[in-house]
Amino acid sequence: MSSSAAPVQPPPPRPVRFGILGCADIARKISRAMRMLPPGAATVAAVGSRSEDKARRFVAEIGFPAARVHGSYESLLGDPDVEAVYLPLPTSLHVPWATAVAARGKHLLLEKPTALCAAELDAILGACDASGIQFMDTTMWIHNPRTAKMREIVSDKDAFGDIRVINSMCGFRASEEFLKNDIRVKPDLDALGVLGDVGWYCIRSILWAVDYEMPETVIAHRHPVKNQAGVLLACGATLYWADGKTANFNCSFLTNLAFDVTLYGTNGTLHVTDLVIPYEENSAEFSVASKSNFIKPTIGWDPLPRKHVVTTDLPQEALMVQEFTRLVQNIRDAGGRPEGKWPAITQKTQLVLDAVKASIDKGSEPIEVAS
């Protein structure tokens, strides 16, 4: 009597062991995202801070009690159990610490804005490429399933046509405390101010809409608002393409909360009002009008815009971490190579941001965007 052997089950995936470099508030959101993932995805192995007590308190808060505490950034990077680093330090510190992460062969999830200029980002990406590690920035809305659904609709040439105009507005009303003391208004910490903060989302949304086709020229809007230290609090720009497409964006620390993006195509219009952070974690909506016309004698519209609602089991920040860990596991466990899409779109975002900043600094002169 013979019996067939039970099939051999593959071992469960080993979770990616993260080190968190710094105890910024946004790191709590990323830590929560890691806790929400299925077993075998990600874990916080260590937290590093310039203050060991601060790192210990942070570990107690985030729900990873086994995470080791390091009283310096250097110590965390030397931890052999850390294989990927989430880096939420101020932008002025990104180059030295991001390149140090890469030099240690640890994969890098880097907060946006990723650098103060494209030359700095090139140094970071060059170090990542030399070490063969995965790079990704933390633009979370890209990973929301709503974004994929919007791409599907915008790509429908019959229903949507060709994009001709884009408007993007990202802003929030900062408190007086924020405007005095937040790192995003300090020239020695985050000198890009609002342009690097929510302006990054405006620029990324525009590039996403045109499938990352780079504009030829940008012209900053006149009279940007700055604080006494010269850091931007509100600004905007118009982007121009050779085929006549245009995009306009505004970003501000001085307006009511808004994350609006509208795409105008030859046959359709798409409007989303909560792009960066959806109103709800588990669902996100947008509206689409297609082949709109008037009801004669100009008394209404036909057809009416249609609302789309996209649900998700995991919030977008968890989906971002999940995708990053998948790529790291593919490199670690299957001999794969880093995915080049993510550094490429980060670089394009930074190049446009650089051009906008240059136009602001030159009194709204037209600036050609570097290729």
Report the length, in residues, of the chain.
371
348 carries an active-site annotation: no
Q: CA-to-CA distance for 343 and 326, rounded, in angstroms?
A: 16
- For 348: left if phi > 0, alpha if psi spans -120 to 50, otherwise beta; the answer is alpha
What is the DSSP secondary-structure string of 152-179?
HHHT-TTTT--EEEEEEEEEEE--HHHH
Task: Label the pairing between strands 42-48 and 16-21.
Answer: parallel
* Cβ atoms 259, 276 nearer than 8 A: yes
Kind and range of the H or E element at 48? strand 42-48
Long-range contacts (CB closer than 8 Å, 24 or more residues apart) made by 236-239 = 237/356, 237/359, 237/360, 239/206, 239/215, 239/352
* Cβ atoms 186, 178 nearer than 8 A: no
The runs of H, that is alpha helices, within 169-287 are 176-181, 193-196, 198-209
Instruction: Extract the tokens encoding 144.
Output: 């929301």
* CB-count exposure of residue 248 (10 Å: 0-12, 13-18, 19+): middle
Residue 109 has, within 13 A of its CA and on its CB side, a CA count of 32
> Which residue of the set 54, 106, 112, 348 is catalytic?
112
Task: Label the pairing between strands 293-295 and 68-70.
Answer: unpaired
List residues with catalytic annotation.
112
